């Protein structure tokens, strides 16, 4: 810069001087995020919620919890929030922690504060695990569709898959003999095609073999059709059906919500991959002979994750709402365990006598879901490259 | 054009076929089967169970059951396992109950979200825009069942009108006006609840669409010509911003059948969603599968209509 006039740009160019922008990507991200006050509010509420859920887990679980959410005190039922316990009628171990019912008690005299703490952890894990599952599936499917999309699936692959699936299905429905025959044929064909590939030599291409080796559909089309099929199901109704049929457990709910909400992530990753694949850095990496696996996960995925991150944040909010709705309808986590939807659903019978049983969990769900939505929308603005150029 | 219609119809039929297989498999491969009954119940002897299985083809292998089921469905002969009523008739009755909710909800959504969204775009960054944005996030985030109870408390304590069900029980011989007002009151809460999420999402979408159009050259030209602000916004900008929304008319079709399970069960509204919920509770497979199939048909028809509308509306798209 100083003596550029004399020497010219090229001579002055030195590699050990820092040339990169002064702010790293994280710093720039943080500067942009700080300007969005609602998103910061969402982030703060989320961190608080996380701490609450974590402390709640430690306080309410274990063989001898500090605050017992399942302790029933029938003589103390439906006490309003901040009510002092009636010490005469309680045994020593039944007196609530800190000597006050912080959020009142429900119709069985259980401490609502303890139940809310326990429910916070449930909401948190349901949100994160369900979205984790859906994002993993979405990245996998979208990555394959975007990167290997041009490859074709041959007719014999489809027939083989049908053979193996129907064989496994027959075995599952206790028709062992015919199922085993189908499986045997399928495996035999796999070995046969391996051997014919291994031994290069004269290949008599007969007409039936030509038909078998014909390209049927591209991988991209196949995956996108699967996405279309999944999008045809009414999602809440589907989740409700499956959860009602399966035995009630919190893990089933997470898995089912995850398995029915991966379509958005798939579409985002595919679209990003389609545009990234044409860019120079990918061509350069390919020319260096880097393996496909490394290209996808080391070079392309970090560039494709921004929209997935946004949709995942909002997806957590949706998953928490879905879980609360399922618990409300009575299909959620089985009863002794408290969840926010559950508390609200139990409390709705006393809506005029004990409104806190409705309002405390309702407002808690509202605030947490709102924080995720606000943070997600803020993230969308910050990660938007159009907006970034302006600053 | 015709080839586009033909191709997309074939594609949709194939998709529908796979949807039918997947939904059938999900229901039938889950643990527990409909022939399984409480062993302590003296009414169900093994012979009765055997007869029941034979009646509904449950003793056949899965693929035969599949064929039987969809053959019956397409010829309209499917009956509910719970009460032996024809499924299509049952669904039609419930559908007629859900229809007013859907219509009022849709009208509310589309008439409220456009003015709100346009105003937010015009006053971008000002107090109105920011409060509308926050309010719409609030409405997206509020759990429907919690909001329902807030509204019920408000209406019941302040207006003293009953709101649960489709009409007040035993209203029989009241005056026509009274009955009419009663129906309106019962209708208004569930449809407002059904519309809240839609209003929030759609108004945000209208806002972003308006903002995008405002950056276009022709809007700047219109301003530079010295046209009055109203004309720029409502004639030049709005007409072009409306384009994507025409296609959304197709996408509201699935809402016809989805209904809302939660809201209809809170208000004891005998509509589609509640019927689906009751069918799930009773493990009434024909009803569950039919509702699923019908909603898949509506989703596919909706996307088809929206594609067609886009073709008609947007002259830039040629096939």
Most confident stretch, A1-10, A24-33, B232-241:
B232-241
Report how far residue A353's alpha carbon sits from residue A349's, in angstroms, rounded to the nearest whole number.
Answer: 9
Matching residue, tokens 């996307």: B303
Using CB atoms and an 8 Å cut-off, which of residues 168-227 of chain B contact chain A? none
Question: How many Cβ atoms are within 10 Å of B134's Cβ, its own excluded?
Answer: 14
For A113-170, the pLDDT digits (tens) are 888 888 898 889 999 999 999 999 999 999 989 888 888 877 777 788 888 887 777 7
**pLDDT > 60? residue A287:** yes
Please name which of A345, B217, B85 lies closest in space to residue B77, comparing C-alpha atoms.
B85
Report how far residue A82's alpha carbon sits from residue B53's, in angstroms, rounded to the nearest whole number.
Answer: 58
Q: What is the mean pLDDT of residues A70-90?
A: 75
Count of domains for chain B = 1
Asked if A234 lies within 8 A of B26 by C-beta distance, the reply is: no
pLDDT of the residue at B40: 64
Which residue in B30, B137, B262 is closest to A328 by CB distance?
B262
Answer whether B193's CB lies under 8 Å from B263's CB. Answer: yes
Residue ranges of chain B with per-residue pLDDT less than 70: 31-44, 170-172, 258-259, 317-319
Which residue in B141, B146, B295 is closest to A234 by CB distance?
B295
DSSP structure class, residue B167: S
Count of domains for chain A = 1
**pLDDT > 70? residue A171:** yes
Report how far residue A386's alpha carbon sits from residue B42's, in angstroms, rounded to the nearest whole number.
Answer: 71
**pLDDT > 80? residue A203:** no
Q: And the tokens for A142?
A: 């979208």
pLDDT of the residue at A11: 55
The answer to whether B20 contacts chain A (CB < 8 Å) is no
Residue B34 lies in a domain: no
Matching residue, tokens 């039919």: B290
pLDDT of the residue at B248: 79
Query: H or E segment at B57?
Result: none
Candidates A234, A344, A359, partner chain B, best to mutate (most B CBs within 10 A): A234
3-state secondary structure chain A: CCCHHHHCHHHHCCCCCCCCCCCCHHHHHHHHHHHCHHHHHHHHHHHHHHHHHHHHHHHHCCCCCCCCCCCCCHHHCCCCCCECCCHHHCCHHHCCHHHCECCCECCCCCEHHHHHHHHHHHHHHHHHHHHHHHHHHHHHHHHHHHHCCCCEEEHHHHHHHHHHHHHHHHHHCCCHHHHHHHHHHHHHHHHHHHHHHHCCCCCCCCHHHHHHCCEEEEHHHHHHHHHHHHHCCCHHHHHHHHHHHCCCCHHHHHHHHHHCCCHHHHHHHHHHHHHHHCCHHHHHHHHCCCCHHHHHHHHHHHHHHHHHHHHHHHHHHHHHHHHHHHHHHCCCCCCCCCCHHHHHHHHHHHCCCCCHHHHHHHHHHHHHHHHHHHHHHHHHHHHCHHHHHHC
Residue B59 lies in a domain: no
Q: How far is B245 from chain A (nearest CA, A)?
A: 20
Residue B284 lies in a domain: yes
Report how far residue A381's alpha carbon sits from residue A314's, in angstroms, rounded to the nearest whole number.
Answer: 13
Question: How many Cβ atoms are within 10 Å of A76's Cβ, its own excluded?
Answer: 21
**What are residue B192's phi and psi, to 5 degrees?**
-60, -45
The answer to whether B17 contacts chain A (CB < 8 Å) is no
Please name which of B103, B136, B124, B131 lies closest in space to residue B203, comparing C-alpha atoms.
B136
Residue A26 lies in a domain: no
Q: How far is A282 from chain B (nearest CA, A)?
A: 32
**What chain B residue is nearest to A357 in terms of C-alpha separation?**
B146
Q: And the tokens for B64?
A: 């035969």
In the three-class reduction of DSSP (H, G, I as helix; E, B as strand; rest coil), residue B175 is classed as coil
What is the ipTM score, two decimals? 0.85
Asked if A173 lies within 8 A of B144 by C-beta distance, the reply is: no
Q: How far is A341 from chain B (nearest CA, A)?
A: 9
Asked if A373 lies within 8 A of B258 by C-beta distance, the reply is: no
Please name which of A60, A84, A86 lies closest in space to residue A74, comparing C-alpha atoms.
A86
Q: What residues of B are in contact with residue A369 (Cβ under 8 Å)?
A: 141-143
pLDDT of the residue at A5: 47
Q: What residues of A are in contact with residue B23 (Cβ under 8 Å)?
A: 233
Which residue in B26, B138, B149 is closest to A358 by CB distance?
B149
Asked if B276 lies within 8 A of A228 by C-beta distance, the reply is: no
Torsion sign, CA atoms B146, B147, B150, B151: negative
Report how far residue B198's alpha carbon sits from residue B205's, in angstroms, rounded to the nearest whole number.
Answer: 10
**What chain A residue is nearest to B146 in terms of C-alpha separation?**
A362
Residue B32 lies in a domain: no
The answer to whether A83 contacts chain B (CB < 8 Å) is no
Report how far residue A325's alpha carbon sits from residue A319's, in angstroms, rounded to the nearest whole number.
Answer: 10
Name residues whose C-beta falls within 8 Å of residue B194's C-beta, 6 or more positions apart in sequence: B101, B102, B105, B260, B263
Range of the domain at B110: 87-318
**Based on the number of CB atoms within 10 Å of its own CB, is A92 exposed (0-12), middle (13-18) or buried (19 or more)?**
exposed
More confident residue, A365 or A4: A365
B236: CATH: 1.10.3720.10
**pLDDT > 90? residue A370:** yes
Which residue in B15, B145, B258 is closest to A237 by CB distance?
B258
pLDDT of the residue at B155: 86
Residue A97 lies in a domain: no
What is the overall mean pLDDT for chain A? Answer: 81
Answer whether A371's CB lies under 8 Å from A42's CB. Answer: yes
Q: And the tokens for A38?
A: 């609602």
Range of the domain at A129: 33-70+110-151+221-390
Q: What residues of B are in contact with residue A171 (Cβ under 8 Å)?
A: none
Could you give the percent of chain A with pLDDT greater than 90? 17
Using CB atoms and an 8 Å cut-off, which of residues 57-116 of chain B contact chain A? 61-62
**Based on the number of CB atoms within 10 Å of its own CB, is A138 exposed (0-12), middle (13-18) or buried (19 or more)?**
buried
Numbers of helices and strands, H then E, in chain B: 15, 0
**pLDDT > 50? residue A360:** yes
Q: What residues of A are in contact with residue B299 (Cβ under 8 Å)?
A: 231-232, 234
Torsion sign, CA atoms B23, B25, B31, B33: positive
pLDDT of the residue at A79: 78
Q: Dihedral (C-alpha) A197, A203, A204, A207: value to the nearest 10 degrees?
A: 50
A142: CATH: 1.10.3720.10
Report how far residue A347's alpha carbon sits from residue B149's, in angstroms, rounded to the nearest whole number.
Answer: 11
Answer whether A104's CB lies under 8 Å from A83's CB. Answer: yes
Q: How far is A213 from chain B (nearest CA, A)?
A: 23
For A321-340, the pLDDT digits (tens) are 998 888 888 887 777 778 88
**pLDDT > 60? residue A10:** no
The answer to whether A169 contacts chain B (CB < 8 Å) is yes
Matching residue, tokens 């500090």: A66
**What chain A residue is nearest to B140 in terms of C-alpha separation?**
A370
Using CB atoms and an 8 Å cut-off, which of residues 317-336 of chain A contact chain B? 317, 321, 324-325, 328-329
pLDDT of the residue at B74: 82
**pLDDT > 60? residue A202:** no
Residue A322 lies in a domain: yes
Residue B36 lies in a domain: no
Please name which of B299, B317, B295, B290 lies closest in space to residue B79, comparing C-alpha atoms.
B290
Q: What is the mean pLDDT of residues A269-277?
A: 90
For residue A387, name the pLDDT band (cuts at 50, 70, 90). low
Name residues whose C-beta falls within 8 Å of residue A185's C-beta, 6 or more positions apart in sequence: A163, A167
Name residues whose C-beta falls within 8 Å of residue A167's C-beta, 6 or more positions apart in sequence: A179, A180, A181, A182, A183, A185, A186
Residue A306 lies in a domain: yes
The answer to whether B125 contacts chain A (CB < 8 Å) is no
Asked if A245 lies within 8 A of B292 by C-beta distance, the reply is: no
pLDDT of the residue at A1: 43
Using CB atoms and an 8 Å cut-off, which of residues 22-61 of chain B contact chain A? 22-23, 26-27, 30-32, 61
Using CB atoms and an 8 Å cut-off, which of residues 135-154 of chain B contact chain A? 137-138, 140-146, 149-150, 152-153
Answer whether B254's CB lies under 8 Å from B297's CB. Answer: no
Which residue in B19, B143, B283 is closest to A324 by CB distance?
B143
Name residues whose C-beta falls within 8 Å of residue B160's C-beta, 6 or more positions apart in sequence: none
Residue A131 lies in a domain: yes
Asked if B19 lies within 8 A of A362 by C-beta distance, the reply is: no
Q: And the tokens for A161?
A: 């898959």
Residue B22 lies in a domain: no
Report how far residue B100's alpha carbon sits from residue B108's, in angstroms, rounded to the nearest whole number.
Answer: 12
**What chain A residue is nearest to B276 in terms of C-alpha separation?**
A237
Residue B16 lies in a domain: no
pLDDT of the residue at A369: 93
Report how far residue A291's alpha carbon sits from residue B15's, in angstroms, rounded to the nearest whole number.
Answer: 35
Q: What is the mean pLDDT of residues A30-59?
A: 87
Asked if B19 lies within 8 A of A232 by C-beta distance, the reply is: yes
């Amino acid at each position: 810069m100083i003596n550029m006039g004399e020497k010219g740009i090229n001579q002055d160019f030195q590699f050990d001087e820092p040339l990169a922008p002064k702010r790293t990507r994280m710093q720039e991200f943080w500067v942009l995020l700080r300007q969005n006050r609602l998103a910061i509010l969402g982030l703060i509420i989320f961190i608080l919620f996380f701490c609450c859920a974590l402390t709640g887990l430690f306080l309410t679980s274990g063989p001898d919890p500090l605050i017992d959410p399942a302790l029933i005190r029938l003589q103390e039922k439906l006490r309003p929030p901040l009510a002092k316990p009636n010490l005469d009628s309680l045994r020593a171990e039944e007196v609530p922690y800190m000597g006050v019912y912080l959020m009142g008690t429900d119709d069985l005299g259980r401490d609502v504060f303890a139940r809310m703490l326990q429910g916070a952890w449930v909401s948190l894990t349901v949100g994160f695990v369900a979205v984790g599952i859906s994002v993993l599936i979405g990245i996998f499917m979208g990555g394959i569709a975007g990167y290997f999309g041009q490859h074709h699936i041959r007719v014999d692959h489809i027939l083989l898959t049908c053979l193996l699936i129907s064989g496994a299905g027959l075995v599952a429905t206790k028709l062992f003999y015919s199922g085993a025959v189908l499986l045997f044929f399928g495996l035999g064909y796999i070995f046969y095609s391996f051997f014919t590939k291994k031994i290069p030599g004269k290949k008599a291409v007969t007409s039936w073999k030509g038909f078998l080796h014909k390209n049927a559909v591209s991988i991209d089309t196949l995956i996108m059709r699967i996405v279309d099929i999944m999008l045809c199901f009414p999602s809440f109704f589907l989740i409700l059906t499956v959860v009602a049929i399966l035995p009630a457990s919190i893990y089933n709910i997470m898995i089912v919500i995850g398995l029915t909400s991966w379509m958005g992530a798939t579409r985002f990753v595919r679209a990003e991959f389609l545009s990234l694949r044409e860019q120079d850095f990918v061509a350069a990496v390919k020319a260096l002979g880097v393996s496909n696996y490394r290209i996808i996960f080391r070079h392309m995925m970090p560039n494709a994750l921004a929209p997935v991150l946004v949709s995942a944040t909002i997806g957590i909010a949706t998953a928490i709402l879905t879980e609360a709705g399922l618990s409300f309808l009575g299909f959620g986590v089985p009863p002794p365990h408290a969840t926010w939807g559950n508390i609200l659903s139990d409390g709705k019978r006393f809506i005029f006598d004990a409104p806190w049983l409705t309002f405390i969990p309702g407002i808690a769900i509202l605030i947490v879901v709102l924080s995720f939505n606000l943070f997600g929308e803020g993230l969308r603005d910050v990660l938007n490259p159009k907006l970034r150029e302006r600053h | 054009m015709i080839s586009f219609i033909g191709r997309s119809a074939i594609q949709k039929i194939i998709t529908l076929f796979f949807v039918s297989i997947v939904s059938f498999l999900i229901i039938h491969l889950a643990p527990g089967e409909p022939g399984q009954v409480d062993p302590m119940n003296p009414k169900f002897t093994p012979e009765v169970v055997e007869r029941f299985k034979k009646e509904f083809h449950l003793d056949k292998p899965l693929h035969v059951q599949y064929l039987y089921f969809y053959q019956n469905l397409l010829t309209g002969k499917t009956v509910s396992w719970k009460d032996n009523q024809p499924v299509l008739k049952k669904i039609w009755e419930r559908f007629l109950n859900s229809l007013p909710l859907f219509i009022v909800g849709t009208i509310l959504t589309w008439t409220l979200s456009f003015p709100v969204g346009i105003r937010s775009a015009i006053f971008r960054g000002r107090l109105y825009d920011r409060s509308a944005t926050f309010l719409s996030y609030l409405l997206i985030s509020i759990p429907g069942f919690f909001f329902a109870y807030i509204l019920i408390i408000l209406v019941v304590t302040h207006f003293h009108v009953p709101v649960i069900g489709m009409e007040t029980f035993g209203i029989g011989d009241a005056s026509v006006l009274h009955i009419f007002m009663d129906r309106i009151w019962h209708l208004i809460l569930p449809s407002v609840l059904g519309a809240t999420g839609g209003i929030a999402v759609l108004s945000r979408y209208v806002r972003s669409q308006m903002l995008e159009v405002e950056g276009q050259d022709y809007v700047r030209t219109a301003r530079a010509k010295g046209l009055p602000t109203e004309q720029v916004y409502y004639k030049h900008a709005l007409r072009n911003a409306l384009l994507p929304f025409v296609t959304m008319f197709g996408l509201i079709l699935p809402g016809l059948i989805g209904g809302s399970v939660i809201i209809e069960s809170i208000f004891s509204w005998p509509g589609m969603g509640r019927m689906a919920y009751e069918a799930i509770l009773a493990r009434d497979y024909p009803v569950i599968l039919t509702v699923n199939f019908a909603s898949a048909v509506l989703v596919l028809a909706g996307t088809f209509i929206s594609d067609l509308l886009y073709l008609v509306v947007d002259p830039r798209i040629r096939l």
